Amino acid sequence: MKTTVKIEGLRDLEVALSELPKSTGKAVIRRTLKKAGEPIADRWRSLAPDDPNTSGDDYRSSITVSTKLSKRQRAAHRKMFRDDKASVEMFVGAGPLPHPHQQEFGNVNHGPQPAGRPAWDEKQGQALGIIRTEMWSEIEKAAKRLARKAARLAAKG
């Protein structure tokens, strides 16, 4: 199945981000992506099967939005994106448990119980909308913070 997404205004965002210091721009993108990932993670959690016998260390509770990956996930990711140090990434998914992919895709003992893909299919439009609105909001907030900081430094002499 092919999905086409049209996003307008990225050139304007890129120009606005380039006016910020690099670290501030990355922080703006990180905050925006975290907010955009939350609806997907929330829906994923609602679709994921829950094991009442576990005390919170299960598939459902491990689903998060983060910049961090487990050691195994990092190793696999590094192989794909070895030289891209300038990018900003946010991951939505299950934590470092050994069984989430078994739940999602199934195995010889039980059939698949997909939760991640249906959550993405349902919430991707909302996530893109959040990115569009929140990115501008975060850029404006960052610019105002930088202006206040510059004014404080100028006042000190």
Domain ranges of the chain: 10-156
Q: Is 118 left (phi over 0), alpha (psi -120 to 50) or beta?
A: alpha
Residue 70 corresponds to which tokens in the numbers above?
A: 């487990």
**Digits of tens for pLDDT over the chain (157 positions)?**
677 777 777 788 888 888 889 889 889 999 999 999 999 999 999 998 877 777 667 888 889 999 888 887 788 777 666 666 667 888 898 888 778 888 888 899 988 989 999 999 999 999 988 988 899 999 999 999 999 998 998 988 7
User: pTM value?
Assistant: 0.81
What's the farthest any 2 CA atoms get from each other in the chain? Answer: 71
